Structure 1
Amino acid sequence: MRPIMRCMQAGKAVGAEHTPSEGEEGPLASAERPILVWFKQDLRLDDHPGLAQALTAEAPLAPLFCFDAALYSHLLHAPHGLEGLLGAVAALRTALRARGSDLLLRMGPATVEVPAAAEMLGAGSVLVEEEVEHRWLAAVAGVTAALPSGCSVMQWKASLFPHEPDSAASHGWNWRRFQQERGAPLPPLPPPAAGLPGLPAEVASAAMQAANAWPASACAPEALAAQLAAGGEPAAQRALGAYLRCCLQPNPAVFAAQLALGTLSRRRLYAAAQQALASAALPFGLGGEAALPARAAAAAAEAGDFHWHLARFDRGRDTRCGCAPRHWRWRGVLTDYIIAEPAACGTRGAQRAAERTGAPAVLLVHGFGAFGEQYRGQVQAMASEGLHVYAPTFPGYGRAEKPALAYSQELWRDFLRDFVIEVVRRPVVAVGNSIGGYISASLAGDYPALVKGLVLVNSAGRLDPGYAAPENPDADPVSAAGPPRLVVDLLSRALFLYLERSIASTLVKIYPAVPANADAWLAEEIRRAACDPGALGVFRSVFYLPKPRPLNYLVAERYGGPALVLQGARDPLNDAVQRARDIAAACSNVRVQLLDGGHCPHDEVPEAFNAALLAFVEEQLPARSAELAAAA
């Protein structure tokens, strides 16, 4: 079965997705000009549908890797991330050379270097994996627009299951429905045999010279750290085999980096797991503890495929925030976020932005069980006031992936830190609701240079005015011992089932002032997320969260900057008024403003909330010029 392709000419689609039938020529079959295979996050030869499709065409093949620092900069924040990339590129180049081909290497912006390589080679098409992450979508679109005349982009994907749900129904599409409709898994493709088409003789020399800027050490595996990630595709395959044979801890998250780089495909992970299960002596099909790693690996592959499709549909989904979501992969976990720019809000937004030059961005942080889109009343409203607004969804929540991670306050804080550094790229006013308030305070306390203002919205976090910081305040806190695993599992399942069935009634209780805003859409989105694979594990992690540092220590001592408590005074979860007073008493840098709302006043009474938030942001703006001050 041939992979699905999509052809785009100079930035615009010229054909719909199409799977050629048996005996029918695909779009590359009659190509005579070279085919440029652009390797990005698919750094392997095994199970590579794009390469397999290219080999059906009678045309020279030109594999290419472009090191675009902007696209791979996130690897600097991941343990051994850069080593992993360089090792994967080195292994890919070695594998191609063993088959009579080679890997062209270029450094610089992909939107410049890939079209330049296509023009140098006289390529008729550029073959590239379909993406869902925003940075890669923008890069592929930029490359497509800059290609020389007569050169088109062909996109491929390697789905684990053949089912293609209707994107129009993606709002209600969930994991349980996916399991019912997905069909049988597709097997991985074998790597190509020896004897790949070489580069065109007349351009091979020039193509190799174009790689001179690439550091030689980048393709010398012996110069790289001896980590798993640095070994590329061969090391990923060996590690997968070892994991399935003898790993006692069923945690396939160890392969997150390999799946993100593409040195290992989801289809190969799934097939290897199924083979391990089939070949083992499994009484009654269970296999006991020995089968757990394989079952966990298969489940991870299934979940990854599901979330990839969900993200693919979400690219065009109309959100309640008035703008389509974007997607970002953090430490191998696919997450989503909402962004609103002043320029997209018409003349008013642009004018306000000019008046507020240098203003920090607004980072909206959701609470437990919620997601970024719950800030539906703030995103466009703040952007129309000239502010850049971001509302991310934490790993483990909403439409983000929910892998088996050690979820904790520190993990979510690190997520926010990297999001601000890699996506926002400017200081922020952090606005956090419930546990999101505590995570925002952790971000401000541990990385104060990133936060110009802090807004706590019915925030979680204990208060301890007499707290004495440890000698090393940056040391990782010790996780709570928690109840026995069996007890936690039973409690989690019981509570999870209860909450799933009572989402609507629970929401109404925490929206006491305007219960109508706890609408069917919000309840359905929370219910949809509760169906996701891994959702129960996130809920279970609450029992093992490390003991948190006091909120007042983070806000007053570690951060010390301007802070506002926007408190829904009718929050049924605690004595909200007294809680706000206690925070102010424990934090000299905090002032309090009460709102007539419950636990989520940003969504319940957005107009009052926005007015208070905007006034606070105004206070953090740099001094305006004398001209603007006079005009005011």
Structure 2
Amino acid sequence: MVATAKPTDIPLLTPLDWQWQGHNIRYTEMGEGKPLLLIHGFGASVGHWRKNIPILAAAGYRAIAIDLLGFGASAKPNLDYSLELWQQQLFDFWQEKIQAPTVFIGNSIGGLLSLMMLGNHPELARGGVLINCAGGLNHRPEELNFPLRTIMGIFTKIVGSPLMGSFLFNRIRQKHRIRRTLTQVYRDRTAITEELVEMLYRPSCDRGAREVFASVLTAPPGPKPEDLLLRVQCPLLVLWGDADPWTPIAGAKIYQDLAQTNPDVEFYPITAAGHCPHDENPDRVNQFMLEFLAKENLARE
């Protein structure tokens, strides 16, 4: 077993800024060694990795996390958001700030973006860690049965309306509603702290946040994980909170089956954890990541 410290007395993450296509992008990094790039999920930010970055850095890695355009402390311009837009952001960030084969680590939408980087830009990657990887930015129409397909169509129209969309967004972003949503996706209620709620609430007050929300919810779903996996050429660790109602572990069968036939793919459930096990059960997730990195001799000098 690889020894790992517990994420107590967590050091503060240093905010750093990078200009991309005229927009300010927030990122952070800690430690020295070959790089790991951590990518958050929908509505989150670099702070969602606060229990992981110090542990990875202390183990001899250069742990870098970035706020996707439209989220966290990054700019929130009124654009058509898509997975392809963020993929370009990550590619350009890698070219300017990293320039070395990288292990991409992502949760939820960040997991799908990590998979896109592995499949579409294999020359950048040494490995990948997917944590409750999303199947798409949004549901594909064929994935929804009637009447849910109709309901979602109406909902996306409301979200895109300046008047009704603003009303809906202002209700959704209220702190008590954020906390209620977190109780759906975190199995361990003690992990739902005021710090976590504030971290998710604060960016929603930024200018342009409502327009980002509407654009993301009406964006195309993006590439399918099964298609991307065909092009992955490096070691892959897949972790999944087994109590996740948003991306249930039943939907992870493609990764479980792959792990049975491909020695470069590992799959482990995180027991009694929800959609964000890296935050809910960081000790276990950090342990799996460090063991994977050590076993594969990835990213460490």
TM-score bracket, normalised by the shorter chain, equals 0.7 to 0.9
Matched, 1:620 2:267: no
CA separation in 2, counterparts of 1:539 and 1:623?
35
Match 2:21 to one of 319, 328, 331: 331
Residue type at the aligned position of 2:15: P
Say which SS state the counterpart of residue 537 (structure 1) adopts: helix
| Pairs within 5 Å for 1:208-607 | 321-342=11-32, 360-461=34-135, 488-489=160-161, 492-501=165-174, 502-513=177-188, 515-555=189-229, 557-576=230-249, 578-585=250-257, 589=262, 590-596=265-271, 597-607=273-283
Say which SS state the counterpart of residue 558 (structure 1) adopts: coil
- Deviation per CA, 1:52-106: give whole Å up to 9, x if none: xxxxxxxxxxxxxxxxxxxxxxxxxxxxxxxxxxxxxxxxxxxxxxxxxxxxxxx
CA separation in 2, counterparts of 1:439 and 1:623?
19
Q: 1:420 to 1:495 in 2, by over 3 A?
A: same
Aligned-pair distance for 1:549? Answer: 1.6
CA separation in 1, counterparts of 2:299 and 2:217?
46
CA separation in 2, counterparts of 1:624 and 1:440?
19
Gaps of 5+ in 2: 1-8, 137-152
Aligned-pair distance for 1:547? Answer: 4.0
Alpha-carbon contact 1:437-1:457 (below 8 Å) kept: yes
Alpha-carbon contact 2:186-2:276 (below 8 Å) kept: yes
CA separation in 1, counterparts of 2:11 and 2:254?
33
Alpha-carbon contact 1:510-1:598 (below 8 Å) kept: yes
Say which SS state the counterpart of residue 269 (structure 2) adopts: strand
Q: Which has the higher contact order (CA 8 A, sep 6+)?
A: 2
Say which SS state the counterpart of residue 617 (structure 1) adopts: helix
Aligned-pair distance for 1:508? Answer: 2.9
CA separation in 2, counterparts of 1:420 and 1:518?
32
Alpha-carbon contact 1:378-1:606 (below 8 Å) kept: yes
Aligned-pair distance for 1:450? Answer: 0.7
Aligned-pair distance for 1:321? Answer: 4.7
Alpha-carbon contact 1:452-1:620 (below 8 Å) kept: no
Gaps of 5+ in 1: 1-318, 343-352, 354-359, 463-481, 626-632
Q: 1:323 to 1:491 in 2, by over 3 A?
A: same
- Bigger radius of gyration among the two: 1
Aligned-pair distance for 1:422? Answer: 1.0
Alpha-carbon contact 1:321-1:379 (below 8 Å) kept: no
- Deviation per CA, 1:18-60: give whole Å up to 9, x if none: xxxxxxxxxxxxxxxxxxxxxxxxxxxxxxxxxxxxxxxxxxx
Residue type at the aligned position of 1:332: G
Residue type at the aligned position of 2:270: L
- Deviation per CA, 1:244-277: give whole Å up to 9, x if none: xxxxxxxxxxxxxxxxxxxxxxxxxxxxxxxxxx
CA separation in 2, counterparts of 1:422 and 1:486?
39
TM-score, scaled relative to structure 1: 0.40
Residue type at the aligned position of 1:459: C
Alpha-carbon contact 1:340-1:379 (below 8 Å) kept: yes
| Pairs within 5 Å for 1:155-234 | none
Say which SS state the counterpart of residue 334 (structure 1) adopts: strand
Task: State the partner residue of 2:146.
Answer: none
Residue type at the aligned position of 2:239: L
- Deviation per CA, 1:179-234: give whole Å up to 9, x if none: xxxxxxxxxxxxxxxxxxxxxxxxxxxxxxxxxxxxxxxxxxxxxxxxxxxxxxxx
Residue type at the aligned position of 1:409: L
Alpha-carbon contact 1:381-1:610 (below 8 Å) kept: yes
TM-score, scaled relative to structure 2: 0.82
- Residue correspondences, number: 269
| Pairs within 5 Å for 1:64-213 | none
Alpha-carbon contact 2:102-2:299 (below 8 Å) kept: no
Residue type at the aligned position of 1:611: Q
Alpha-carbon contact 1:326-1:336 (below 8 Å) kept: yes
- Deviation per CA, 1:114-138: give whole Å up to 9, x if none: xxxxxxxxxxxxxxxxxxxxxxxxx
Residue type at the aligned position of 1:400: S
- Deviation per CA, 1:530-570: give whole Å up to 9, x if none: 01111011111124323422101112x12232111110111
Residue type at the aligned position of 1:509: Q
Say which SS state the counterpart of residue 231 (structure 2) adopts: helix
Q: 1:486 to 1:572 in 2, by over 3 A?
A: closer
Alpha-carbon contact 1:437-1:456 (below 8 Å) kept: yes
Say which SS state the counterpart of residue 540 (structure 1) adopts: helix
Alpha-carbon contact 1:321-1:377 (below 8 Å) kept: no
Aligned-pair distance for 1:580? Answer: 2.3
Overall identity of the aligned pairs, in %: 35
Aligned-pair distance for 1:491? Answer: 5.8
Alpha-carbon contact 1:321-1:373 (below 8 Å) kept: no
Q: 1:487 to 1:370 in 2, by over 3 A?
A: closer
Alpha-carbon contact 1:580-1:592 (below 8 Å) kept: no
Q: 1:492 to 1:321 in 2, by over 3 A?
A: farther
CA separation in 2, counterparts of 1:392 and 1:458?
18
Task: State the partner residue of 2:149.
Answer: none
CA separation in 1, counterparts of 2:235 and 2:27?
26
Residue type at the aligned position of 1:505: R
Aligned-pair distance for 1:599? Answer: 0.6
Alpha-carbon contact 1:321-1:375 (below 8 Å) kept: no
Q: 1:492 to 1:531 in 2, by over 3 A?
A: same
Say which SS state the counterpart of residue 565 (structure 1) adopts: strand
